[in-house]
Amino acid sequence: MNLLLSAIEPSADRMGAELLAELSRRGVPLRVRGLGGPLLRAQGLVPVAPLAPAAMGLVEVIRHLGALRRQRAALVSAAESERPDLCVCIDAPDFHLPVATLLRRRGIRTVGWVSPQLWAWRPGRKHTVAQAYDELLCLFPFEPALYEGTSLTAAFVGHGAIDRGRPRRPESGSVAIFPGSRPAELTRLLSIFLAATRSYTTVFVAEAPGTELRGLLPKDERLVVVSAEEAIVRCERALSKSGTVTLELALSGVPTVVAHRVHPLTWLVGRILVRGIRFLSLPNILLDREVFREFVQRFTHDDLWAALRLAQEPPADELRALVGPPGVVSRVADRITRGERP
């Protein structure tokens, strides 16, 4: 299979790497080019351009517009020269939809993995998504119905977090912090997370691949830098940025507090564009109630410290029923190797 794959964010890099590992396990002959981080490159992806620093939010993205344009141009150029059997775009709809639309018009089969959050804002994007992809692989069971009235084949495959859980071995007096991997996230959250966890005997600092978080930490014997997976296994409770990791924490039954902070201009624009959404973290959104206490934009380390002490175990079984049975990457591999154009 001659595959063009694009994953420009750390969570997408992990998803793409899991997919390539599954295809290799099946013995599918692969030639993979595209955009990806260290995990995808370790699985054999040949990059067509350097990745811009991961960014989320209006102001943060504007700072890297030039690099993002170069990445798009490199993807299109690779597709035109290689004529891949398939182009898989993982998440990042604002980046991927224009590229996928162009490639599909040129006769290349395109698959999107992760639906844009139409349920949160800009539901009219469903028509743009339908023009971009032959098929869309959705994380949540309610999402395919959002594309009714379009020509798009949208299928529920489940959320990969259901397959990543490991038996927990919580260590007494421990807390895990998940400050993110993007430079802006670390700038805004790392120091306040460290201050909020000052009373714990062990602080597991979750590090994403390629982040080099150790250089940003003060010298403190309590701080133990580990992978996100290990942090979830070993902690008693957690303090996390908003993102996919909140669902992984909830599925593992970790009492958690969520904190979110972006550039003030990004926050102002977001409040104008996003309406009718009560929560930011996925467990709260999926269950439509406050499973994890959330702090948004304005909070102190004392606020987070107090909330951590009161955090309760989330309803993991209830969430597992919503995100699908295990075997997500296997189902994704099944769909992209069918070979026919939907």
Q: What is the structure's pLDDT at 227?
A: 94
Q: Which tokens is 22 given?
A: 């599954």
- Give the predicted TM-score (pTM) of the model: 0.87
What is the predicted pLDDT for the residue at 341?
40
pLDDT reported for residue 61: 59
As a whole number of Å, the end-to-end CA separation of the chain is: 18
Domains in the chain (CATH in brackets) are 2-158+324-336 (3.40.50.2000), 174-323 (3.40.50.2000)
pLDDT of residue 44: 96
The reported pLDDT for the residue numbered 123 is 73
Residue 342: its pLDDT value, please?
Answer: 36
Using the CB atoms, write b or e for 96-116: b if 16+ within 10 Å: bbebbbbbbeeebbbbbbbbb
Taking 50 as the pLDDT cut, the residues of the chain under it are 58, 340-342
How many of the other CB atoms lie within 10 Å of CB of 286?
19
Residues with Cβ within 8 Å of 134's Cβ and at least 6 positions away in sequence, in order, are 104, 109, 110, 111, 153, 341, 342
What are the pLDDT digits (tens) for 133-173?
999 999 999 999 999 999 999 999 999 999 998 999 999 99
Sheet containing 153-156: order of strands = 46-47, 31-35, 2-6, 86-90, 110-113, 135-138, 153-156
CA-to-CA distance for 148 and 144, rounded, in angstroms? 7
CA distance 181 to 190: 10
Query: Could you give the CA distance from residue 89 to residue 221 in angstroms, rounded to a whole number?
Result: 41
Q: What is the pLDDT of residue 38?
A: 92
| pLDDT value of position 10 | 87
